[in-house]
Amino acid sequence: MKISYKKLWLMLIEREISKSAFRKEVNLSAGTYTKLNKGEEVSLSVLLRICEFLDCDIGDICEAVHK
């Protein structure tokens, strides 16, 4: 299984939030931001910070997909 953040990127587009503004507002490190872009696993605390910023649930920003 792999994780997909496609829902996150679509939500940012829908809300007209730039990726750089998103990174700054959520206080993401360069490494964590790179992991999100590459579809790699990030910590649950990071996902919860993103959800708090976007006022959504974890299932709204990511999903588990078969390889």
Residues 9-67: tens digit of each pLDDT: 999 999 999 999 999 999 999 999 999 999 999 999 999 999 999 999 999 999 999 97
Amino acid at 53: F
Nearest-5° Cα angle at 5, 48 to 31 = 70
Domain boundaries 2-65, CATH class: mainly alpha
